[in-house]
Amino acid sequence: MRIRVEAATIDSRHDLFDVMVEAKVLVVKFVSTAHHPLQWAFHRDTGQALQAIAADPVDSELVSMSRTLGAMMNRAAVPALSHLCDHQQYFVRWAAMQALGYVAPELLVPRLKVAEEDPHPHIRAAAHKALNRILPQG
């Protein structure tokens, strides 16, 4: 059996790479230092963003855990979700707030009011939009 080994160095802060596998491959491994909390996948032809995933697997697990706890709608999850609403990564905070809305809806409005002052603009905008949907306009 013949094995060909190739390596490339890519600066993930500036470079994009596109991998197309045309034959069976023993192993393809990508290793990167996280320079940003999210890693993005783009459409090959249009360049449109398709997906953002957490660069840190722990953050990814926290988002998944928040979604699962929200789906279970068990009030025992309130302390954990409330704690995650203050997480350093904005996408973990937002996933926790969304889940909190399912588990303890009465706690969501006060949390969203706090989130209107969040350091991240996406959280501020989403909290404002959610409050406009939830609260009666008068």
For the chain, the distance separating the N- and C-terminal CA atoms, rounded to the nearest angstrom, is 75
**Domain residue ranges of the chain, discontinuous segments joined by +:** 57-134
Q: What is the mean pLDDT of residues 104-123?
A: 96
pLDDT(113) > 90: yes
**pLDDT value of position 40:** 82
β-sheet bridge partners, residue 40: 52
Q: Are 37 and 59 in contact (CB under 8 A)?
A: yes
β-sheet bridge partners, residue 51: 41
**What is the reported pTM?**
0.73
User: Between helices 57-72 and 90-103, what is the axis angle to 10°?
Assistant: 10
User: Between helices 105-115 and 121-134, what is the axis angle to 10°?
Assistant: 130
**pLDDT value of position 5:** 63
Q: pLDDT tier at 106 (50, 70, 90 boundaries)?
A: very high
pLDDT(41) > 70: yes
